[in-house]
């Protein structure tokens, strides 16, 4: 396993991280525990979850699986997206974040998280309030580092400016949709993060499975695919992305690898990417994804992938989660 600093911080994370959105939903508790233990046994230290994943089940399952092994993990969770329909069940106010952190810690069975991330920008709460709340969390010892997710570049830069002006903790990471099938962060977000020393944590690194090559069309989705378990996902299955996924699969085949491993390895070659979080519903999927660590990409392959994926630098992001 390779380990990298998360942005300009002193926190080191595994180049491949474990996304846990499926735990308690598409993967039952026993399977989820097996995936977590296999990940830790093979050097994966970064575990990413959120207070809303599988209706809080993801955090609970992780907490149970980490008993006796908490020290082996860099544990990251998030808050900010709606937890219910009430007026105090969303956003990044002091009220909401304080309550959500306490509940996350209880579910995770720990007294601190390594990285606490704001799940999305809150237009109704002043950034100063959010950042002062996070500062207090760090000073209390319940949070080690702070990060953001789903912020636009100007929102993230504004937050960094306020932190610098007031001497508050800075966001050290930015979690965003980023893959060969979604290079939109390269237009503004990544240059901004490069300038400010903020590490990139891609989510949807396989474009929800499109970059595994398993989709032949939007109408013929595999039984275990996200498009079947989450019908809303079909909106992502555009003809150009599916065609591109097949092209990536062919390049990977020529290298004696898989489309998944190749797509993950490409992200790891991007200079600002600190860790790539990839989910899974079985240990076998994780084994395939771990092969990306040892996949050596020469300049010819990288250039070919850059050329083929160039159209995905423009247009809308593959995914972004915002408060309405």
Q: How far is it between the farthest Cα atoms of the chain?
A: 54
DSSP letter, residue 181? T
Q: What is the DSSP string of 148-200?
A: EES--HHHHHHHHHHHHHHTPPPEEEEEEE-BTTB-GGGTTHHHHHHHHT-EE
Q: Is 317 helix (H, G, I), strand (E, B) or coil?
A: coil
DSSP state of 168: P
Q: What residues contact 299, with CB distance under 8 A and at least 6 apart?
A: none
Q: Are 118 and 92 in contact (CB under 8 A)?
A: yes
Residues β-bridged to residue 5: 12
Question: Whole-angstrom Cα distance, residue 145 to residue 112?
Answer: 10
| CA–CA gap between residue 279 and residue 53 (Å, rounded) | 12
Q: Do residues 297 and 267 touch, judged by C-beta distance below 8 A?
A: no
Catalytic residue among 3, 38, 53, 151, which? 53
Q: How far is CA 110 from CA 49, 100, 150, 188, 305, in A?
A: 14, 14, 26, 36, 42
N- to C-terminal Cα separation, the chain: 40
Active site (annotated) includes residue 112: no
Q: Which residues are catalytic?
A: 53
């Amino acid at each position: 396993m390779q380990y990298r600093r998360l942005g300009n911080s002193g926190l080191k994370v595994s180049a491949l991280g474990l996304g846990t959105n499926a735990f308690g939903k598409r993967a039952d508790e026993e399977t989820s525990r097996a995936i977590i233990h296999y990940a830790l046994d093979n050097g994966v230290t970064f575990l990413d979850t959120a207070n809303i994943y599988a209706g809080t089940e993801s955090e609970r399952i992780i907490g149970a699986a980490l008993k006796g092994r908490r020290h082996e993990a860099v544990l990251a969770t998030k808050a900010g997206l709606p937890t219910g329909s009430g007026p105090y069940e969303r956003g990044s106010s002091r009220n909401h974040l304080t309550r959500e952190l306490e509940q996350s810690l209880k579910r995770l069975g720990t007294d601190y998280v390594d990285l606490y991330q704001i799940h999305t920008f809150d237009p109704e709460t002043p950034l100063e309030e959010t950042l002062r709340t996070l500062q207090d969390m760090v000073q209390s010892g319940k949070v080690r580092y702070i990060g953001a997710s789903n912020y636009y570049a100007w929102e993230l830069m504004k937050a960094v400016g306020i932190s610098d002006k007031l001497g508050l903790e800075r966001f050290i990471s930015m979690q965003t949709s980023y893959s060969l099938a979604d290079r939109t962060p390269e237009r503004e977000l990544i240059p901004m993060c490069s300038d400010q020393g903020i590490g990139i944590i891609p989510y949807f690194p396989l474009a929800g499975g499109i970059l595994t090559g398993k989709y032949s069309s939007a109408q013929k989705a595999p039984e275990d695919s996200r498009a079947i378990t989450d019908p809303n996902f079909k909106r992502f299955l555009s003809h150009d992305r599916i065609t591109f996924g097949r092209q990536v699969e062919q390049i990977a085949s020529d290298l004696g690898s898989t489309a998944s491993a190749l797509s993950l390895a490409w992200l790891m070659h991007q200079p600002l990417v600190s860790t790539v979080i990839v989910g899974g519903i079985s240990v076998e999927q994780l084994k395939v994804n771990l092969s990306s660590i040892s996949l050596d990409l020469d300049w010819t392959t990288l250039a070919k992938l850059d050329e083929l994926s160039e159209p995905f630098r423009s247009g809308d992001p593959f995914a972004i989660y915002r408060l309405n």
